[in-house]
Amino acid sequence: MARIGIFIDTLKGTLPSSFRDQLRSTLREIPEVAFSTEEEELVSSEALERMSKLLEREKVERVVIVGGSPKIYETSFQKWGLPLPLNPYLFTVANIREQVLWASIDEKEAFEKAKRMILKAIRIASSLKPIESQTLPLKPEVLILGGGLSGLSIALTLAKAGIQVFLVEKEKTLGGKTTELWKFYNKEVEVKGWLEQKISELRQNPRISLLAPAQLKYLRGHLGRFQATVLTGKGEEMTLTPSVIVVATGYGVERKRGGIYDHKRVITLSEMEKLLSETHPPFPLFEGKRVETVTFLLDETNEDIKFDAINAIKQSLILQGSLKCQVTILCKEVKVSSEGMERLYRKARGLGVLFVKYEEPPRLSLVNGQIQVEVKDTSILHKEDQWTISILSDLVVLSEAILPHQELTELSALLKLHLGKRGFLMEDNPQLLRVRSNRRGIFVAGGCRFPQEISETLFEADALAQEVLVLLSKGAYTYDLSVAEVDPKKCALCYTCPRVCPHSAITVEKYAERNVYLTFGIPQNTQWGAAKVDPASCFGCGICVGECPARAITLRHYPDELIYIQMGVDG
Partner 1 sequence: MTLTNMLEKEVLIIGGGIAGITIALELAQWGIPPLLIERNSSIGGLASTFCCKASESCNKCFACVVDKRVSEVYQNKKIQLLTQTEVSRIRRNEKKFEATLKKGRELYDLRTNAIVVAAGIDPYDATQKGEYGYGRYPDVITAKDLDEMLRYKGKLIRPSNGELPARIAFFQCVGSRDESIGNLYCSQVCCAYALRLIKAIRYQYPLIEVSFFYMDIQPAGPSFESFLKSCREDRRIRLIRSLPSKIYFSPASNLLKVRVPDPQTGEVAEETFDLVVLSVGMVLNKGAKSLVQWLGLNYTEDGFIESPPLQKGVFVAGACSGPKDIDRTILHSKHIALEVYQFLKGIN
Binding stretches for partner 1 (CB under 8 A): 75, 78-81, 157, 160-161, 302-306, 333-343, 346, 357, 378, 380-383, 385, 420-422, 424, 427-428, 430-431, 433-435, 449-450, 456, 458-460, 462-463, 465-467, 469-470, 473
Closer Cβ to partner 1, 102 or 495, answer by number: 102
Q: How far is the CB of 301 from partner 1 (least distance, A)?
A: 10
Q: Which of 465, 460, 332 is nearest to 399 (CA)?
A: 332
Q: What does the DSSP 8-state code read for residue 523?
A: P
Q: Which of 26, 35, 30, 29 is nearest to 7 (CA)?
A: 35
**Cα-based distances in Å from 334 to 298, 316, 354, 356, 360:** 10, 14, 12, 9, 16
DSSP-assigned states of every residue in 354-388: EEEE-SSPPEEEEETTEEEEEEE-TTSSSTTT-PE
Report the C-alpha gap between 432 and 471 in whole angstroms: 14
Q: How far is the CB of 336 from partner 1 (least distance, A)?
A: 5
* Widest distance between CA atoms in the chain: 102
Closer Cβ to partner 1, 217 or 346, answer by number: 346
Closer Cβ to partner 1, 35 or 539, answer by number: 539
Q: How far is the CB of 499 from partner 1 (least distance, A)?
A: 23
Closer Cβ to partner 1, 236 or 359, answer by number: 359
Report the C-alpha gap between 65 and 422 in whole angstroms: 48
Q: How far is the CB of 185 from partner 1 (least distance, A)?
A: 14
Is the CB of residue 351 less than 8 Å from the CB of residue 319? no
Q: How far is the CB of 333 from partner 1 (least distance, A)?
A: 4
Q: Which of 442, 482, 545 is nearest to 134 (CA)?
A: 482
Distance of CA 197 to the CA centre of its chain: 30
Q: How far is the CB of 271 from partner 1 (least distance, A)?
A: 24
Q: How far is the CB of 407 from partner 1 (least distance, A)?
A: 19
Closer Cβ to partner 1, 361 or 420, answer by number: 420
Is the CB of residue 203 less than 8 Å from the CB of residue 210? yes
Helix axes 269-278, 307-322, angle to 10 degrees: 30
Report the C-alpha gap between 472 and 138 in whole angstroms: 6
Q: How far is the CB of 133 from partner 1 (least distance, A)?
A: 18
Burial of 219 (0-12, 13-18, 19+ CB in 10 A): buried
Burial of 166 (0-12, 13-18, 19+ CB in 10 A): buried
Distance of CA 226 to the CA centre of its chain: 19
Q: How far is the CB of 201 from partner 1 (least distance, A)?
A: 11
- The DSSP bridge partners found for residue 7 are 37, 65
| Sign of the alpha-carbon dihedral angle for 434, 438, 443, 444 | negative
Q: How far is the CB of 459 from partner 1 (least distance, A)?
A: 5
Helix axes 341-351, 307-322, angle to 10 degrees: 40
Closer Cβ to partner 1, 19 or 358, answer by number: 358
Q: How far is the CB of 297 from partner 1 (least distance, A)?
A: 17
Closer Cβ to partner 1, 255 or 357, answer by number: 357
Report the C-alpha gap between 92 and 66 in whole angstroms: 9
Tell me the three state secondary structure of residue 170. coil
Report the C-alpha gap between 71 and 93 in whole angstroms: 10
| Sign of the alpha-carbon dihedral angle for 78, 80, 85, 90 | negative
Closer Cβ to partner 1, 7 or 424, answer by number: 424
Q: How far is the CB of 539 from partner 1 (least distance, A)?
A: 15
